[in-house]
A and B are shown apart, each in its own frame.
Chain A
């Protein structure tokens, strides 16, 4: 069920982000969503792509520091308070969110957000129980 996310360590150096994007682009891999987290010294690029396994291999072979992380893709009703409602459910259940970011694409009129939480299984079950749609890896890669 979880979605595979590619995480890349980026030194805070001109052109690093571009070279990651180029490396996977050259291999015909398409980016579905991404986020960049940065500190003064380094950044972390998180990517959802259509073929995570190959993206991982490609980046690794080009000497990037890459890690595969599991996240969940949650369909968020696209109206005011939509995200707040989902977050409230997680808070009530005591699920701690490490980070989240949004997809550009909409899915059947809803927004799509990527959540990284401590306990993925628990969070997934919670969403399903509460009638919130969670997308599988296959569904996300095929977007």
Chain B
């Protein structure tokens, strides 16, 4: 049974949706020009006035916003409202040591709950559902994003957060959870642990799952669906835009509907920034239409996908669909749902040995869990005759990286010159995960 959370909006005729989008775009553009010096400068530099933006066709006149712009204006520089209006702050990894900070007004939290309620409804959630939310709670937007959407629906939320797999399964069984939300790799891991514990899917009440925060393949979906006996759908989002709930798969599973009354999507050529027609793969660029605290104008997501050219979906929703994500335009890694940039690790190493060390990052997936191992060359400077000094160096590097990334890593010291030197663009990451 296909059901909507907000049928009027989700199935709104395209012409009507366009009128709504254009009205909200004009409003957003004039608001950022008034309230955010960064945008005012960017507009002035190219001689653009808010009045120049009248329709969606004018979108391409607007300047892009990059992740670096958030860093340069750390922490609150891009906020369009005074902090007194901000009721929530989240953060995700930045490209350097500083996180990317995002803020929400009360209305932003409502909008977020709305798009998440729609997304959860896609996988069958309703007020009778028991939603086991195994996304991490905290600065990461995953946990609280799902939480507020689930509460808006009126479902019973089980805010278990990530980890403690055996306990997750016990709760799932005892509480009769019907919906599971977490990263897809964690869902698969839970199915492994179930097997270990001798718990079969028939002992659970699971019906659906909403999985995201990392790219996953169709094979992985099939695997999760079979093992858990559920419908598994992909949810997309990023904290800079709002968090999870920017786009979601409907049960038809032919792409992710972008909630277009809140987010305007374009695909651009990552090199030239030129808008690409529907059907072409390129970088997803999002403009927020309702965000108050942190509006984003043409935000470069670095995610590669395409707009599915066929309009209309057999589920009845009219909002445009993007394809499942194909990769990234930058070197960002997603490890257990956490964004990791090699540059963050580089900075840690730089600070420890006071020299720019050579390193390699290996990513593996063991027992369905991502593992990150950093190989660091021992320089003559730091090499010691004593094992315990080397071990404490290893430990220090590991701890420092863990502080910055917020995830566990392994560190391995290797011989000098054993890590390949690159001319030009270096390759510092070997991702051995098969998704």
User: What is the interface of chain A, defined by CB distance below 8 A to chain B?
Assistant: 5, 7, 9-11, 16, 37, 39, 41-42, 44, 46, 63-67, 69, 98-99, 116
Q: Which of B384, B385, B387 contacts A39 (CB 8 A)?
A: B387
> Roughly how many angstroms separate A37 CA and B386 CA in the complex, as a whole number?
9
**What 10 new A-B contacts, CB under 8 Å, besides A63-B415, A65-B378, A69-B385?**
A5-B385, A7-B385, A39-B387, A41-B394, A42-B390, A42-B413, A44-B387, A44-B390, A63-B416, A99-B386
- Quote the shortest CB–CB distance from B353 to chain A (angstroms): 13
Can you pick out 10 interface pairs between chain A and chain B where the beta carbons lie within 8 Å of each other? A9-B378, A11-B415, A42-B378, A64-B415, A65-B379, A65-B380, A65-B415, A66-B380, A67-B380, A99-B386
> Roughly how many angstroms separate A101 CA and B307 CA in the complex, as a whole number?
68
- Quote the shortest CB–CB distance from A103 to chain B (angstroms): 18
Contact B413 A46 (CB under 8 A): no
- Considering the complex, give the chain A residue whose CB is closest to the CB of B383: A65
Instruction: State whether A39 and B415 are in contact (beta carbons under 8 Å apart), knowing that A46-B385, A67-B380 are contacts in the complex.
Output: no
Q: Is B20 an interface residue (CB 8 A)?
A: no
- Interface size for B (C-beta < 8 A) is 18
Instruction: State whether A67 and B417 are in contact (beta carbons under 8 Å apart), knowing that A41-B412, A42-B390 are contacts in the complex.
Output: no
Q: Is B414 an interface residue (CB 8 A)?
A: yes
- Considering the complex, give the chain B residue whose CB is closest to the CB of A69: B385
- Quote the shortest CB–CB distance from A108 to chain B (angstroms): 29
> Roughly how many angstroms separate A116 CA and B415 CA in the complex, as a whole number?
24
Contact A116 B380 (CB under 8 A): no
Contact B383 A67 (CB under 8 A): yes
> Roughly how many angstroms separate A66 CA and B418 CA in the complex, as a whole number?
15
Interface of A is mostly: strand
Q: Which of A10, A16, A64, A67 contacts B385 (CB 8 A)?
A: A67
Which residues does chain B contribute within 8 Å of A16, judged by CB atoms? 415
Which residues does chain B contribute within 8 Å of A65, judged by CB atoms? 378-380, 383, 415-416
Q: Which of B378, B385, B418 has the most CB of A within 10 A?
A: B385
> Roughly how many angstroms separate A46 CA and B378 CA in the complex, as a whole number?
17
Q: Is B431 an interface residue (CB 8 A)?
A: no
> Roughly how many angstroms separate A66 CA and B385 CA in the complex, as a whole number?
9
Contact A44 B385 (CB under 8 A): yes
Contact B383 A9 (CB under 8 A): yes
- Quote the shortest CB–CB distance from B371 to chain A (angstroms): 15
- Quote the shortest CB–CB distance from B2 to chain A (angstroms): 53
Contact B384 A10 (CB under 8 A): no
> Roughly how many angstroms separate A9 CA and B412 CA in the complex, as a whole number?
13
Instruction: State whether A67 and B391 are in contact (beta carbons under 8 Å apart), knowing that A9-B378, A42-B413 are contacts in the complex.
Output: no
Which residues does chain B contribute within 8 Å of A98, judged by CB atoms? 386
A interface footprint on B353-397 (CB within 8 Å = 1, 0 otherwise)? 000000000000000000000000011100111110011001000
**Which 5 pairs, one residue from A and one from B, show the smallest C-beta to C-beta distance?**
A7-B385, A69-B385, A11-B415, A41-B412, A65-B383
- Quote the shortest CB–CB distance from B419 to chain A (angstroms): 11
- Quote the shortest CB–CB distance from A19 to chain B (angstroms): 11
Q: Which of B390, B391, B415 has the most CB of A within 10 A?
A: B415
Q: Which of A11, A37, A63 contacts B387 (CB 8 A)?
A: A37
- Considering the complex, give the chain B residue whose CB is closest to the CB of A41: B412
> Roughly how many angstroms separate A63 CA and B378 CA in the complex, as a whole number?
12
> Roughly how many angstroms separate A46 CA and B415 CA in the complex, as a whole number?
16
- Considering the complex, give the chain B residue whose CB is closest to the CB of A46: B385
Contact B414 A116 (CB under 8 A): no
Q: Which of A5, A11, A46 contacts B418 (CB 8 A)?
A: A11
Contact B383 A39 (CB under 8 A): no
- Quote the shortest CB–CB distance from B46 to chain A (angstroms): 53
> Roughly how many angstroms separate A42 CA and B384 CA in the complex, as a whole number?
12
- Quote the shortest CB–CB distance from A109 to chain B (angstroms): 31
- Considering the complex, give the chain B residue whose CB is closest to the CB of A71: B385
- Quote the shortest CB–CB distance from A42 to chain B (angstroms): 5
> Roughly how many angstroms separate A64 CA and B384 CA in the complex, as a whole number?
13
- Quote the shortest CB–CB distance from A59 to chain B (angstroms): 11
Contact B414 A11 (CB under 8 A): yes
> Roughly how many angstroms separate A65 CA and B413 CA in the complex, as a whole number?
12
Which residues does chain A contribute within 8 Å of B385, judged by CB atoms? 5, 7, 44, 46, 67, 69, 116
